Amino acid sequence: MLQRTVVIMFLAGFGLVLGALAPEPAPVPTRWQLEIEPGPLRVVSVDIPNLGPRMFAYMTYRVENNSGQDVLFAPSFELSDGEGNVVRSGRDVPQAANAAVFDLIQNPLAEDQISIIGELTQGKENGKDGYVIWILNDMNPQAMTVYAAGFSGETATVEIKGADGKPQRFILRKTLMLDYQVPGTLEGQRLRPLGLRSRSWIMR
């Protein structure tokens, strides 16, 4: 494992792309941390009213709080295609796709990314099941990497010199990175899970 992670930050307001060496997460968690068990990443085609068939990726997960304190749980999931395109789950996902995925996962207790937000109390019996969905605009991605944040309270601050020469500070959060094997094209994948290549915690 690399000792340092290269983090690329896109600053829309400045039109700049800056790189910085980010710190590694602490070997032993120094803040609260939740237990997350991600399910398979799958691809599905859904017939959207007035639009026709559209492709989506979705993932289920289980989260439990054994941190020793109740936590306000507000997760965020992003999907990267390895070409600089990063999409947050739920963005541009129609209700028809959400309903179709909910039927597919066959878990009446599963909550979508909005419904699951709230206090997560301690104990296995208070764990929650969730699912997230992304619209797929590229069926031939170079990579498929999921970044899951909101499962740890650990943060770090990095300082980068801006275009004007003045230092700018950014707060990085401990994030779970899930890197999946890409079969070349996703066209024929249809509900078959993508293989998980690696799982690691990074500061992002």
**Residue 18 resides in a domain:** no
CA 180 to chain CA centroid, Å, is 12
Residue 9 lies in a domain: no
Query: Domain limits at 112?
Result: 30-152+171-203
pTM: 0.87
The enclosing domain of 46 has a CATH number of 2.60.40
Convert the pLDDT of each residue in 39-79 to its tens digit: 999 999 999 999 999 999 999 999 999 999 999 999 999 99
- Report if residue 157 sits inside a domain: no
How many domains does the chain fold into?
1
> Has residue 81 got a pLDDT over 60?
yes
Q: Residue 188 domain-assigned?
A: yes
In the prediction, which pLDDT does 9 show?
A: 38
Query: How much is the pLDDT for 123?
Result: 97
Shortest CA distance to 22 belongs to which of 172, 198, 192, 149?
172
Average pLDDT of span 152-175: 90
Element (H, E) at 196: strand 196-203
